[in-house]
Amino acid sequence: MAKGKSRFFCNQCGQESLKWMGRCNGCGAWNSLVEEKVAKNESASSLTSRFGTQGISKPIHIDEAVDGDESRFSTGIQELDRVLGGGLVNGSLTLLSGDPGIGKSTILLQSAAQVANRSKVLYVSGEESVQQIKMRAQRLQVKNVNLYLLAETNIETILEIIKNIEPQWVIIDSIQTLYWNEIGSAPGNVAQVRECSGQLLRLAKDLPVAITLVGHVTKEGAIAGPRVLEHMVDTVLYLEGERNYPYRILRSVKNRFGSTNELGVFEMLGQGMVEVSNPSAFFLAERSQGAPGSVVVPSMEGTRPLLVEVQALVTPTLFGPARRVATGLDYQRTVLLAAVLDKKIGLHLGQQDIYVNVAGGLKIVEPAVDLAIVAAIASSSRNQMTDPETVLIGEVGLTGEVRAVGHLEKRIREASKLGFRRCICPGQNRKYLKGDVEIEIIGVEKVEEALSVALGG
């Protein structure tokens, strides 16, 4: 190998520097430059020239370009297809990340077995031997499918094998274990992750073949390695959930071929990941109907309405300033709604600790849950429970008005399916609601009206 020399790369944006600096000139991040060994006359700027297509590129008139309709294929798991936007796209590069032991390898091996019933799949592992993968496959009852296993970490060897067997889908578990001989640093370092990902990206576009990378996460929950990795791939998925609980939530935070608002729900069992066909019933299964501070709201996760429980606990402050804690909700939004209750309703929450939580570990960011948060806080403060068969929907403004939200009909139908008999919603939505619904609809204009109906005065 050529004599190597040091370069400094930013682990946030990939900017290269000849010397260490406290602040990156590219993205402005502090203490983000790390030292890497590179081969002589090799640098990150030569990535395109090494792995780009042969020949000279020429501009093409837009009318002469090939139709952009992407070719998809199903993973065989409906919840995974939903988050991907309908399935995997040929020639795409997907990154799946999550905490250790959360189930990343399990769900990929299950979906690989489904795809291998129709076409060829290559599963590459840099962390486990072929025998270890076979043991997991036996537990998941994967057999008699066109699935190939490979235990390898050399990127050049992996690329050659992919070209030889021409699979439709390639799974790399994980990108942090791969290395390229021309770089003297250890696998998982910034330069190795960037270079190996670049080679896989070029191969995915040239063949084309769908490639899925498994990525590690840091203790802060971010994807390990350079931030440029997230910019290179087409789709970034996160698998979330507590290891002590059986449910897992799959989210899309970047998707060039679909929505980033979709959500998939799974349950981890002995036979692997099992799809949850009715997430609303799943998250409301342990709901306590006779307790103050509990309110149900239909939230939209992409195209799917999902009923979740918003819980609140209001208790006197024993010492120091009052605390405001929001779990699964936007903290600033929660503080704002508490101020609206204090000013417009007169609850006097200045000396009260307020804790608000979304049951089940979900994260809800849409403003349609505002009215449920307000009702939950007021219910706990007054120690009055809300009607257990009522759902609340609506955005709350600073002047105490209840604003309209989208997809009201979908939300109401989901609530009606689970046996709820009444819905408190914005009056503007009520005026334009079309069709008959098997649920009582109560339109309100102000927060005072909503609380009067929900809490009985």
Annotated binding site: 98-105
For 202, the token pair is 């070029």
Residue 226's Cβ-side half-sphere holds a number of Cα atoms within 13 Å equal to 30
Contact assessment for residue 110 and residue 73, using Cβ atoms and an 8 Å cutoff = no
Cα 34 from Cα 31, distance rounded (Å): 8
Q: Which residues contact 156 (CB under 8 A, 6 or more apart)?
A: 180, 181
Nearest to 178 by CA among 168, 191, 164: 191
Number of neighbours of residue 248 by Cβ within 10 angstroms: 26
Q: How far is CA 11 from CA 30, 216, 358, 448, in A?
A: 11, 15, 34, 51
Give the β-pairing of 352-358 and 324-327. parallel
Give the β-pairing of 16-17 and 5-10. antiparallel
Phi, psi of 155 (to 5 degrees): -65, -35
Residue 107's Cβ-side half-sphere holds a number of Cα atoms within 13 Å equal to 32
Cα 430 from Cα 441, distance rounded (Å): 7
For 70, the token pair is 């992407």
From the annotation, which residues make up the binding site for ATP? 98-105
- In sign, the C-alpha dihedral spanning 328, 275, 247, 81 is negative
